[in-house]
């Protein structure tokens, strides 16, 4: 006992060295472990260890300061205080951000972050993040205040000896923990590793639509393509192949079974998303061009350079769905309820197919909404489908086939937009918004089916990507479900050659959409996609998800030289 008393300071130093080593090991294990914190939360284990260490630290204060006089607040101490404040402000900010990201979005590919850091962000709905931003600022201020107040209180009672050393150790440990957490959720080391490796996937598998024969039917079919924000098969009930106890999208479930989703057992089946296809801008490219947005796509000049010609900017080497239909004389229109410039969407659709784009600002210009009207990301889906009916009737009156593309927005994270039509059948707002969206899409499809142009029209319903509302998925115990995006092709002019459940990605929707329009595709492949009506094996079926996703993340000379920078 005397030994402990005499060597109390040394024992505490030894404890903190061990404490630091164990914490770092836990952080490393946390980022390596593919186990969600609901099952075995290593992050909480390390938090408890930090808390335990802090208790020991307080005991150590009492021991160290018992015989010391009050310290003066010297200039040297002021400098230390500033440094300590910066350390704790940074550590607390990162901790708060990663806690928010982890619970709200789950893991986010680094390629997605790099794209949005460099792509146009006009039209972003900051209301989605405003509460989190203000709370984050409060957390930082609170951390700084705590450092100053803690020191002054302890100094007043002559207990501040060792304050800076121990608090620096604690702050450093929190920062190390934050860095490990960042690595786990953003997988920066994997991003660096893969983008410094090269793949030959494009040389071996990519098919340029200009190099093969595409034979259209004598009477060309119209196309209505509805991208549904964050819509996935998980939202249906387990009895229909989903992840939920209740069916939040009964109408969409009916449409999936009525149309073609490439299943075989009565359950609905959807498309997997690969790296570079997991956010809206990338989803639009994936489903219309059969390629992902590569992580090296990080120059704003390649996204939306207003000083250059549009056809020189966004994947100029690609020949996609819009290019093909434009060359066949189609009228093409893209209808969205947000700012068209967000993520470079206007550049992509204008440079590939010469789409006419109707967005939030178009609605203001045409007097459909007031100048100061803005909800959610612009205007809500209730208005979107109303405008869509008007636009479709105008397109149908013209003597050309049309491609009418729509992108919904109400089901965007977080919690979705609760409009006046949404009921309260379920316990959570997002579930009610999903149910409302299901009804709206269903009613729109049924309206289309009543029109004269329907017989010669193919409808594609597709979720753009998986929902990023991780909080909702966790609340439904669905975060570990084998998730894929919703797909249903209605009134397609093609027959499945072999009835079986296909394993496919959103890349496969490019050739499959054309096939559903009655187009004969030489070789059944376009981009990196495969016509799902055929018996050709998809890349997902050939490689498996893990291997294919790794290849998607690797650098590619073909992608950079032929697709990203080459000119049509």
Q: Is residue 462 part of a domain?
A: no
Q: How many residues does the chain have?
A: 568
Q: Is residue 191 part of a domain?
A: yes
Domain match, 439 and 354 both: yes
pLDDT (0 to 100) of residue 69: 41
Domain match, 164 and 205 both: no
Domain match, 181 and 224 both: no
- Give the number of other CB atoms < 10 A from CB of residue 44: 11
- Distance CA(426)–CA(411), nearest Å, equals 15
CATH of the domain at 516: 3.40.720.10
Given a cut of 70, is residue 262 above it in pLDDT?
yes
CA distances, 230 to each of 180, 482, 485, 519 (Å): 29, 15, 8, 29
Nearest to 507 by CA among 191, 207, 117: 207
Domain match, 359 and 421 both: yes
Per-residue model confidence as pLDDT tens digits over 313-353: 688 899 999 999 999 999 999 999 999 988 788 889 999 99
For residue 300, what pLDDT band results from cuts at 50, 70 and 90?
very low
Domain match, 211 and 118 both: no
Q: Is residue 456 part of a domain?
A: no
Q: Is residue 216 part of a domain?
A: yes
Q: Is residue 454 part of a domain?
A: no
Domain match, 168 and 222 both: no
Mean of pLDDT values over 502-516? 98
Structural domain total, the chain: 2
Per-residue model confidence as pLDDT tens digits over 84-104: 777 777 777 777 676 666 666
Q: Is residue 459 part of a domain?
A: no
Domain match, 36 and 175 both: yes
- Distance CA(191)–CA(207), nearest Å, equals 26
Q: Is residue 307 part of a domain?
A: yes
pLDDT (0 to 100) of residue 31: 44
Per-residue model confidence as pLDDT tens digits over 474-491: 889 987 899 999 999 999
Q: Which domain-ending residue is among 177, 195, 213?
A: 195
**What are the backbone dihedrals phi and psi of residue 393, each rounded to the nearest 5 degrees, phi first?**
-65, -35
List the beta bridge partners of residue 272.
505
Q: Which domain-ending residue is among 167, 195, 223?
A: 195
What range defines the domain where residue 151 resides? 2-195
Sign (positive or negative) of CA dihedral 484, 437, 531, 549 = negative
H helix and E strand count, the chain: 22, 10
- Distance CA(152)–CA(159), nearest Å, equals 10
Q: Is residue 464 part of a domain?
A: no
pLDDT (0 to 100) of residue 397: 96
Per-residue model confidence as pLDDT tens digits over 458-472: 999 999 999 988 889
Per-residue model confidence as pLDDT tens digits over 198-217: 899 999 999 999 999 999 99
Q: Which domain-ending residue is among 152, 178, 195?
A: 195
pLDDT (0 to 100) of residue 431: 97
- Distance CA(437)–CA(421), nearest Å, equals 10
**For residues 161-192, b (16+ Cβ closer than 10 Å) or e, as one string?**
bbbbebbebbbebbbbbbbbbbbbbbbeeebe
Tell which wins on pLDDT, 264 or 221: 221
- Look at 238-252, 446-460, 554-568 and tell me which has the smallest mean pLDDT: 554-568
pLDDT (0 to 100) of residue 173: 79
Nearest to 107 by CA among 44, 177, 34: 34
Per-residue model confidence as pLDDT tens digits over 329-338: 999 999 999 9
- Look at 164-173, 196-205, 354-363, 531-540 and tell me which has the smallest mean pLDDT: 164-173
Domain match, 482 and 352 both: yes
For residue 54, what pLDDT band results from cuts at 50, 70 and 90?
low
pTM: 0.75
Domain match, 187 and 207 both: no
- Look at 73-82, 217-226, 345-354, 467-476 and tell me which has the smallest mean pLDDT: 73-82
Token look-up 């597709």 returns 462
List the beta bridge partners of residue 225.
405, 460
Domain match, 61 and 165 both: yes
pLDDT (0 to 100) of residue 134: 65
Contact 426, 248 (CB under 8 A): yes
Domain match, 402 and 500 both: yes
Domain match, 92 and 74 both: yes
Mean of pLDDT values over 27-35? 44
Percent of the chain with pLDDT over 90: 51
């Amino acid at each position: 006992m005397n030994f402990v008393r005499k060597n109390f300071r040394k024992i505490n130093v030894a404890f903190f060295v061990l404490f630091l080593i164990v914490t770092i090991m836990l952080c490393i294990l946390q980022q390596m472990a593919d186990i969600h914190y609901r099952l075995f939360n290593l992050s909480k284990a390390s938090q408890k260890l930090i808390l335990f260490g802090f208790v020991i630290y307080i005991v150590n204060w009492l021991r160290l300061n018992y015989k010391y006089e009050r310290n003066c607040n010297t200039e040297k101490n002021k400098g230390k205080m500033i440094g300590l404040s910066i350390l704790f402000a940074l550590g607390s900010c990162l901790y708060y951000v990663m806690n928010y990201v982890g619970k709200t979005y789950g893991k986010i590919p680094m390629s997605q972050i790099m794209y949005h850091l460099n792509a146009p962000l006009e039209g972003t709905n900051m209301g989605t993040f405003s509460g989190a931003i203000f709370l984050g600022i409060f957390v930082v201020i609170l951390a700084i205040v705590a450092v100053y107040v803690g020191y002054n209180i302890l100094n007043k009672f002559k207990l501040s000896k060792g304050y800076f050393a121990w608090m620096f150790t604690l702050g450093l440990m929190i920062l190390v923990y934050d860095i490990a957490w960042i690595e786990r959720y953003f997988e920066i080391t994997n991003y660096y590793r893969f983008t410094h490796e090269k793949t030959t996937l494009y040389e071996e598998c990519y098919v340029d639509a200009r190099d093969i024969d595409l034979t259209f039917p004598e009477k060309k079919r119209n196309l209505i393509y509805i991208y549904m924000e964050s819509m996935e098969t998980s939202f249906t009930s387990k009895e229909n192949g989903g992840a939920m106890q209740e069916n939040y999208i009964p109408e969409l479930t009916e449409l999936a079974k009525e149309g073609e989703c490439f299943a075989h057992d009565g359950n609905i089946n959807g498309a997997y998303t690969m790296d570079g296809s997991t956010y809206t801008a990338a989803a639009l490219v994936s489903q219309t061009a059969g390629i992902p947005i590569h992580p090296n796509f990080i120059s704003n000049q390649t996204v939306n350079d207003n000083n250059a010609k549009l056809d020189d900017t966004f994947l100029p080497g690609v020949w996609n769905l819009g290019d093909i239909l434009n060359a066949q004389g189609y009228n093409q229109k893209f209808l969205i309820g947000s700012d068209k410039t967000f993520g470079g969407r206007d550049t992509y659709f204008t440079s590939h197919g010469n789409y006419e784009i109707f967005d939030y600002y178009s609605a203001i210009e045409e007097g459909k909404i007031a100048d100061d009207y803005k909800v959610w990301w612009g205007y809500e889906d209730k208005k979107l489908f109303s405008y869509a009916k008007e636009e479709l009737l105008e397109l149908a009156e013209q003597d050309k086939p049309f491609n009418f593309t729509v992108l919904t927005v109400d089901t965007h994270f977080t919690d979705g937009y609760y409009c006046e039509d949404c009921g309260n059948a379920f316990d959570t707002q997002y579930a009610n918004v999903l149910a409302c969206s299901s009804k709206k899409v269903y009613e729109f499809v049924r309206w289309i089916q009543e029109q004269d142009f329907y017989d010669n029209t193919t409808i594609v319903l597709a979720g753009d990507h998986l929902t990023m509302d991780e909080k909702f998925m966790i609340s439904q115990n669905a975060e570990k479900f084998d998730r894929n995006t919703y797909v249903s092709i209605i009134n397609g002019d093609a027959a499945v050659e072999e009835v079986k459940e296909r394993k496919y990605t959103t890349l496969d929707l490019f050739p499959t959409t054309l096939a559903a329009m009655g187009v004969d595709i030489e070789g059944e492949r376009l981009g990196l996609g495969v016509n799902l009506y055929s018996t050709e094996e998809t890349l997902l079926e050939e490689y498996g998800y893990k291997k294919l996703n790794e290849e998607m993340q690797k650098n590619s000379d073909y992608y950079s030289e032929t697709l990203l920078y080459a000119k049509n």
